[in-house]
Amino acid sequence: MTKVLFVCLGNICRSPTAEGVFRAMVTRAGLTHAIQAESAGTSASHAGERADRRTVRHASQRGYDLSAHVARQVRDEDFAAFDLILAMDAQNFAVLQERCPAEHAKKVRLFLDYGMRGGPREVPDPYTGGHHGFERVLDLVEEASFGLLEHLRRRAAS
């Protein structure tokens, strides 16, 4: 079993989107027995809340159901429990690196490392922007989720 944790700041926009999109791809690929995904935020400020309603609506328009999501903060146990801990941007990557015990340091990566080669390295925070920000999150997340699934398949086959 490979366990992936997606991490953003609030766990109400970007990382729940990544969790929902990646899970849908894993399900379509028939790999739910082999790959699990969750998400969390580096901040506790939205813990216990549902995903942002704009995030839920835009995801739903592409067929992803984020309605059951409940936000939570990253926990110390996550660094041992997950195999990959993928940050949406450099700020959250730095927070994770700071918190991560040295023995698990290799698990912490930027999610868009699995995205298009030469493409952006960060998923921009859509919280204070307009609708296009949420579409942009979905575009980047779909691309990188595909790359991540391919990476895990190659690793499993080797």
Task: By CB under 6 A, tell whether 45 contacts ligand 4NP.
Answer: yes
Compute the distance between CA of residue 6 and CA of residue 148 in angstroms, rounded to an integer: 12
Min CB(12)–ligand 4NP separation in Å: 4
106-145 residues near ligand 4NP, rule: CB under 6 A: 125, 127
Active-site entry in 13, 14, 23, 100:
14
> Which of 4, 5, 6, 10 touches ligand 4NP by CB under 6 A?
10
The answer to whether 39 and 10 are in contact (CB under 8 A) is: no
For 52, 76, 77, 91, 128, the CA distances from 22, given in Å and listed in that order, are 18, 23, 22, 22, 24
Any catalytic annotation for residue 100? no
CB 140 within 8 A of CB 111: no
Q: Does 39 participate in binding ligand 4NP (rule CB under 6 A)?
A: no
Q: Which residues bind ligand 4NP (CB under 6 A)?
A: 8-14, 45-46, 125, 127
